[in-house]
């Protein structure tokens, strides 16, 4: 469901897929080839959320923004199921694992993986090209070519899925 609030209205590319069971509220900009799954909530009632091309916001993800702040999400970012995100910036090709919490004012570098269930503390900065894990999250290793290959395939899966959803449509039965 798409909602305007207080003069703030979502701007969603016609080349993106947003589930009817997702909530997109306020000043949200979604670029081309993005996937927003059922149960996702993108809430920009008093800030702004910008989502770059080819980003996947999986089921149950919550993205919210601090008052008068902007959450800038790069291109081809993956948000795993149930992640909670309140970040200021998430770089291109980053992965936020299932159930991870990325707190207020954080910065996640490009090509960085935040492991499942990790907690990135308020205003914490995670550098580019690493894997961060734990509570609180800390860098555990550098990103490997195998990581990039695996996640690249996953990211392409969602871009292809968006194209197929838009081409074929989703049809309720029963």
Q: What is the pLDDT of residue 67?
A: 87
Residue 33 placed within a domain = yes
8 A C-beta contact, residue 109 and residue 128: yes
Residue 24 placed within a domain = yes
Residue 149 placed within a domain = yes
8 A C-beta contact, residue 109 and residue 88: no
Tens digit of pLDDT at every position of the chain (174 positions): 999 999 999 999 999 999 999 999 999 999 999 999 999 999 999 999 999 999 999 999 999 998 889 999 999 999 999 999 999 999 999 999 999 999 999 999 999 999 999 999 999 999 999 999 999 999 999 999 999 999 989 999 999 999 999 999 988 898
Residue 54 placed within a domain = yes
Q: What is the pLDDT of residue 117?
A: 98
Question: What is the CATH classification number for the domain harbouring 19?
Answer: 2.160.10.10
pTM for the complete prediction? 0.96
Q: How many CB atoms lie within 10 A of CB 87?
A: 26
The DSSP bridge pattern shows strands 138-142 and 130-133 to be antiparallel
160 CB burial (10 A radius; 0-12, 13-18, 19+): exposed
Residue 173 placed within a domain = no
Residue 122 placed within a domain = yes
Domain span at residue 42 reads 2-168
* Domain count of the fold of the chain: 1
CA distance 28 to 64: 10
Residue 174 placed within a domain = no
């Amino acid at each position: 469901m798409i909602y305007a609030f207080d003069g703030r209205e979502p701007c969603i590319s016609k080349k993106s897929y947003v589930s009817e069971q997702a909530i997109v509220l306020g000043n949200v900009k979604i670029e081309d080839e993005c996937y927003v799954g059922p149960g996702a909530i993108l809430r920009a009632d008093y800030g702004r959320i910008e989502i770059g091309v080819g980003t996947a916001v999986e089921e149950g993800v919550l993205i919210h923004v601090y008052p008068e702040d902007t959450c800038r999400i790069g291109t081809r970012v993956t948000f795993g199921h149930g992640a909670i995100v309140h970040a200021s910036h998430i770089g291109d090709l980053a992965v936020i694992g299932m159930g991870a919490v990325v707190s207020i004012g954080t910065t996640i570098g490009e090509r960085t993986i935040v492991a499942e269930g990790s907690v990135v503390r308020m205003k914490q900065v995670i550098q580019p090209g690493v894997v961060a894990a734990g509570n609180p999250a800390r860098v555990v290793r550098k990103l490997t070519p195998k990581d990039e290959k695996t996640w690249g395939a996953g990211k392409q899966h969602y871009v292809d899925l968006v194209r197929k959803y838009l081409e074929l449509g989703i049809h309720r039965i029963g």
